[in-house]
Amino acid sequence: MKMQKSDIINILVDRGYSVFDLYHNQIALAVKKENLLNDLIFLRSIGFEHLSFITAVDFIDEGEFEVVYHIWSYTHKIHILVKVRVDRNNPVVPTVIDLWEQSQFYEQEVHEFFGIKFEGNNDLSPLFLENWVDIPPLRKDFDTREFSIRLYDAEVDGGDR
């Protein structure tokens, strides 16, 4: 049965979620790491069956990463962003492979580019960066200029820095 966005928001608020009404068909939830799997299971149970992708945001000044799960409901035509904060020095979240098989690739990619570990995922091998030895390149403390100088053994003059 199709629910309206307002009904979904009310259900989530009644369950104690921090809900952010973003756009006409988009909601964001802030969840705790220890509740992540149960929260995702609940969302599936009310019709949010499709995991579109997983990404992360580096909040370097706060010492945290935010892992973001983008979940879609074909029934409700609503997109939910489930956001969970993790410590930047020990970035670990549980895998969601048992809920969404396609998350295997998303988790590998986030691990490769941010260094976030997905506990229970036995294959976090690189997808794109062969023989990578530096810190993950999408972390804010990755110095692209210094990396380029090392890689190409030269410094180029010109342009704003």
For residue range 18-27, what is the model confidence (pLDDT) as tens digits?
Answer: 999 988 899 9
Q: What is the CATH number of domain 5-152?
A: 3.30.460.80
What does each C-alpha distance from 77 to 29, 70, 127 come to in angstroms? 17, 13, 31
DSSP code for 35: G
List the structure tokens of 56.
């992360």
Q: Is the pLDDT of residue 161 over 60?
A: no
For residue range 42-72, what is the model confidence (pLDDT) as tens digits?
Answer: 999 999 999 999 999 999 999 999 999 999 9
pLDDT at 145: 85
The Cα–Cα gap between 79 and 48 comes to 8
